[in-house]
Structure 1
Amino acid sequence: MNRSQLGAALRALRVASGKDAKAVARSALMSPSKLSKIEHGKLGVGAADVERILTAIGVSDEAKAEYMDAARASATETIAWRLLKRTGVHKGQQDAKALETQMVLLRLFQPALVPGLLQTPEYMRAVLRCHDLSEDSINRTISGRLERQEVLYDGNKSLRFIITEPALRWRIVRPQMMAAQLDRIISVSRLPHVDIRVVPLTAEQNDIASHAFVIHDDRMAMIETVHAEVVVTDPRDIELYVKKFKSFERSALSGAEMRCVVERVRDGFLREQETD
């Protein structure tokens, strides 16, 4: 089933259900224009979008399984960053928020930077400026990312982060701001449903920290590369990322030990600030 056929099938299901497009779009956490483009085959649709649309329509489990299989037929979707820039990077925050609203378990590995859900506004701005965005786009993306951070306080979810020690030391903002960013990590780590772990430089490794990735439940893995965001929905591929996450989890520090590492790095930045 190609893009046009899947879109037409989703539209037929919606019409048969008697629900109007605006209601389905609202329930599926997307704009009516996006739903319209999907239904008319003008926009590629990932498995996550298909699942949200089917849930909003209210189809049976059997029908949902059938259409989800069709959506996964193209198990890997690549979205070039240049296309995201063209449509608006801030809109990606809306899609991410929709995914995070519906998930129960998030597992995120980040070897290079502080994860977006844990970033301070100053850190966000520095990261986004590396992508040659306009100030308006940066401001709107920061606003969207801050809204996404509300998920950190949802006790019905389990959020698990693994960060490497070099990511804590990557000087993307001034020492004082880096110290504030690390304080933010320490603070969030005390939330009962949030597990933040740090892989120390002294830990012996049996795996390679090649790139960042995030796993939503066991349904989707998203990988960040230099040129694109890759979305994986094939269970066999997702399992590879789950195994990789567990491998780094075994060598990572948690709880008080993790906070000691972060505090040590933070104190180093504070000492630098005092001597400036």
Structure 2
Amino acid sequence: MKTVIDDYIREEMFPHMWCPGCGNGIVLGAIIRAIDDLKWDRDKIVMISGIGCSSRITGYVDFCSMNTTHGRALPFATGIKMANLDLKVVVVMGDGDCSAIGGNHFIHAARRNIDLTAIIINNMIYGMTGGQYSPLTPTGRFGTTAPYGNIDQAFDLTSLAMAAGASYVARGTVYHVRQSISLMKKALDKKGFSVVEMISDCPISFGKMNKMRTAVEMLKWIKDIAVSKKAWENLSVEERKEKFVIGEFLDIDRPEYNERYNEIIKKAQKMGGNE
């Protein structure tokens, strides 16, 4: 029986290469369903990724797509959007890809407020390269490079995006799929830089280092640590440890980068007598 998914994937690329229980497939399904609900023209969609487990998504979708270098998905996406304003540009990144080597690009894409949608799959680990801890690994959790526990404070990626200047910011999880699809639809349809962080599971690299041996265990854990904004307000500082707030955090309108850039072009032409 044909499904919505079948209309948007490259069947020749399957079966996929993700590990059993990986949350990337759930995120892929959520993205496709959000795009299908919006009724976008597939020929007008470009999906960009960097390097990592999440980057395979661009190989599986039946859109124009590009797999770029590690941490550089946003600069590539920026160039594509500026070259053709009619395109819907979606960027899929992992937590390390976005917040470590790509962190500088992330904050400046938000600062510019360029019309892109960034979907960050946060499985709290470098899953593809051996299970090293990332800037989003919770304090105290284990990785192959943190065998005694991570002592770093993790980024709050949604707060970082808001402080840097994004127009839309939200967080969902691979457990709360319906909510995540709704958040993605709003992000995709938002003019300006929009961000959806997706808390995901990696049962092979993160799970095995943190006493969660199966995807089911990890999904139950994600369910337990995900808290609505209303419930979050009633938690003490101690109760908030290792928990995430999920939902929509920011939805504002401000000038988009290409709009302002075109104004500069017109101003330069006028000043040069070449209107």
Q: TM-score, normalised by structure 1?
A: 0.27
Q: TM-score, normalised by structure 2?
A: 0.27
Structure showing greater radius of gyration is: 1
